[in-house]
Amino acid sequence: MFFLFVCFFWRERPLMDCVVLLPAQGGMLKATVGSAEEKDEEQEDEGEEELRDGGVPFFVNRGGLPVDEETWERMWRHVARIHPNGEALAKEIRGATDLPKIPVPSVPTYQPTTTIPQRLEAIQKYIRELQYNHTGTQFFEIKKSRPLTALMDIAKEMTREALPIKCLEAVILAIYLTNNMAGVERFPLSFKSHFSGNHFYHIVLGVHSGGRFGALGMSRREDLMFKPLEFRTLLDLVQEFEGAYRGYWHTLRKIKIGQYVSHDPHSVEQIEWKHSILDVDKMSKEELRKELERHTRDMRLKIGKPAPPSPVRDRKNSMGSPHKGPNSPIRRISRAERRPSGEKKVLEQKSSDINGYQIRV
């Protein structure tokens, strides 16, 4: 019933691909004005920016699967608020006895002769077949501070449940699906854009192999996720995303790039999400090129460094379930370890939405 509801809701929505016009919401969905810029910076440091979409928060299922009753009812109430046919749609689905059977995508498998670009395309096809999650509730809780092994456990659960996902979930899933691909290095690549007084956040998984860069991910827009393995430099890849943002009237404000992610699925190290933080709207093209070349060198230096040893004890006993166990200790990346560029941004006043509407990316 749960899976059918999610897929039925996605298929029936007349809402969006990636650019969507939504009326300004009231109540808990209303973006906070006031000191929003300071809150943006605080939430970025805490790694929680993915919990907002243009200032509009969405729910995260923190109780694991199957979904508990409280989360289940909250999701239906949220759907009733945000969907044009909310109440009627909810009654239609919940009262249906003959919902269609939804096909479950298969995790890609390869022949030994399958090339790296072909494997990456197969992974992206699988991620796309899971479909973008438009329900307003993220089904898998992704805590950036968790060790890699715990995040890989969540990725396994994604393949079992085959539910629609959002961009951060897609990054974790893409890491899991590329772990056994020797010669393919992966790194998080996130974006902060601005439109009509609001900031928007997005993240993909950058990939590097054979001297070329590309990306895997999930978005409402085709040109804000997958990039084939054909970009000669990291600058070329970043400029490709920047051009896509311009096409949606968004100004790219900030880019955060992490380090290469370990291929060991049992590694207890944390993903370094933001080794370099670049204020691109304050940088010239030459400055951006130099910063990205420096980051590329930093990533290459990490290759070959020994990773922390995996725990000797059984992981389930020592670390606990990704949903039921205690939270992993948070390791904060010091500002000295990051590579911020430019001066701290001057707080700007938010402009009003165009006719009370927002364009969401």
Centroid of chain to Cα 6: 19
Q: In angstroms, how far is CA 337 from the centroid of its own chain?
A: 23
Half-sphere exposure of 156 (CA within 13 A, CB side): 11
- Among residues 78, 194, 202, 263, the one annotated as catalytic is 202
Q: Within 13 Å, how many C-alpha atoms sit on residue 226's CB side? A: 15
SS3 307: coil
Is 167 labeled as catalytic in the residue annotation? yes
Is 202 an annotated catalytic residue?
yes
Q: Which of the following is catalytic: 209, 219, 276, 341?
A: 219
Any catalytic annotation for residue 262?
no
The alpha carbon of residue 283 and the mean position of all alpha carbons in its chain are separated, in whole angstroms, by: 25
Residue 348 in 3-state DSSP?
A: coil
Of 132, 5, 18, which is closest to residue 80 (Cα–Cα)?
Answer: 5
For the chain, the distance separating the N- and C-terminal CA atoms, rounded to the nearest angstrom, is: 29
Residue 150: which of 326, 324, 264, 319 has the closest Cα? 319
| Backbone Cα Rg of the chain | 20
The helix/strand count (H/E) of the chain reads as: 10, 13
d(CA 358, CA 343): 29
Instruction: Name beta bridge partners: 255.
Output: 191, 278
Q: Which residue has the tokens 């020797």?
A: 182
Which residues are catalytic, by number?
Answer: 167, 202, 219
